[in-house]
Structure 1
Amino acid sequence: MDGVSAAPTDDLTLSERWLTVPDLVDLLGVSPGRVHRLFEQKTLLAARVGGVLRVPSEFLDDTEPLPELRGTLIVLGDNGFTDDEAVRWMLGVEDALGTSPIAALRAGRKAEVRRVAQSLL
């Protein structure tokens, strides 16, 4: 399944806006195959929401994947997180950060987010 967890997230409230693969094709100006390669390379992360592969809009910076995201997603994967678990962690409030990890990444706190991610088991 292109490296995407089969366990559904099914919580539309986790993100302000969920983007489907066709949405990403239009927004990024790339082919569907390229979008799936971005998932495989952990440049973007998708979860099944409502039975459809979706990416939280917070994972994008205008029309590109957030550059700080990839390293954090790799750390989470190395710690055994499924894609679904990683999406939930990135969007949920992390007590150690005082905010969601994605909000902390967007605020320039990459090292802190990765340090917290590395401590998770």
Structure 2
Amino acid sequence: MTDSVPAANRAAEPAAWLTLPDVAERLDVPISKVHQMIRDRELIAVRRDGIRRVPEDLLANGALKHLPGVLNLLADAGYDDEESLRWLYQPDDTLPGGTAAAALAGDQAREIKRRAQALGF
């Protein structure tokens, strides 16, 4: 069976979420450090079911290394956290892994930063 919803219209959401205490445990840092990382745009958190959550895959495979640069470029382009999340998870067949978030963990991080930077123009 094929997906009848075009890629451009599919909901852009990560497969799994972590709560902030789970993020702190995963990174082995105090919860206050996680809050600081969110404030400094080193990490993205959005409310789901009334609880701030972080996409789990952004903490894996080196994606966290490149995420702050991308989040700052998106903020400079006027994107809020929800819009940034949608941009990161919007299906894109031209990227390995199919989304900007997945490509951040690979060798396409520079391309993702270039695309985010282009949004400001």
Match of 1:24 in 2: 23
Is the 8 Å Cα contact of residues 20 and 53 (structure 2) preserved in structure 1? yes
Q: How many residues are aligned here?
A: 109
1:95–1:115 distance in 2 versus 1, CA, 3 Å: farther
Give 2:46's aligned amino acid.
A
Match of 1:70 among 68, 76, 96: 68
Q: Which has the larger radius of gyration?
A: 2
Unaligned runs of 5+ in 1: 1-10
Compute the RMSD of aligned alpha carbons. 2.2
TM-score, reference length from structure 1: 0.79
1:116 offset after TM fit, Å?
1.2
Distance 1:87 1:50 in 2: 16
Match of 1:92 in 2: 90
Counterpart in 1 of 2:110?
111
> Structure 2: where are the runs of 5+ without partners?
1-10
Q: Deviations over 1:65-109 (max 9, x none)?
A: 710111111100110000111011111213664721011111211
Which residue pairs with 2:7 in the alignment?
A: none
Percent of aligned pairs sharing the same letter = 35
Cα 1:24–1:17 shift into 2, 3 Å = same
Deviation by residue 1:9-33 (Cα, 9 ceiling, x = unmatched)? xx7x811210001111221222221
For residues 91 and 23 of structure 1, what CA distance do their matches in structure 2 show? 21
In structure 2, C-alpha distance between the alignment counterparts of 1:32 and 1:79, rounded to whole Å: 29
